[in-house]
Amino acid sequence: DAKTTQPTSMDCAEGRAANLPCNHSTISGNEYVYWYRQIHSQGPQYIIHGLKNNETNEMASLIITEDRKSSTLILPHATLRDTAVYYCIVRVEYGGYQKVTFGIGTKLQVIP
């Protein structure tokens, strides 16, 4: 699986959009971009994933650049409950087998 690079930490004002960047310059054509988050003392939680098109769900939006070398996770209206570590992961789908390699992630602090 390709490696990812994320900022170690970020702050975001409550109610504003949180934009979390991820670089994955060595991503290959069949690798998906996944985002998980981990709130303190809980297990990670899936947020969203995509291959090359932008994706949106009830939690967030994922913007993937045209060359697929980077992506941005957008939380449109951050709340205090969004304070967490956010992990960007790239991996191939092995017919459903999903060995996930987490990095250190970005610690997002939402500030009142």
Partner 1 sequence: DTGVSQDPRHKITKRGQNVTFRCDPISEHNRLYWYRQTLGQGPEFLTYFQNEAQLEKSRLLSDRFSAERPKGSFSTLEIQRTEQGDSAMYLCASSPASGGNYNEQFFGPGTRLTVL
Chain residues in the site for partner 1 (CB under 8 A): 32, 34, 41-46, 49, 85, 87, 93, 96-105
Minimum distance from residue 103 beta carbon to partner 1 (Å): 5
Would you say 40 or 112 has its CB closer to partner 1?
40
Least Å from the CB of residue 89 to partner 1: 9
Please provide the distance, in angstroms rounded to a whole number, between the alpha carbons at the two ends of the chain: 37
Nearer to partner 1 by Cβ, of 81 and 112: the residue is 81
Amino acid present at 77: H
- Which single residue is written with the structure tokens 């990670």? 44
105 Rama class: left (phi>0) / alpha (psi -120 to 50) / beta: left
Task: Give 96 or 112: the residue with its C-beta nearer to partner 1.
Answer: 96
Main-chain phi, psi angles of 5, to 5 degrees = -125, 125
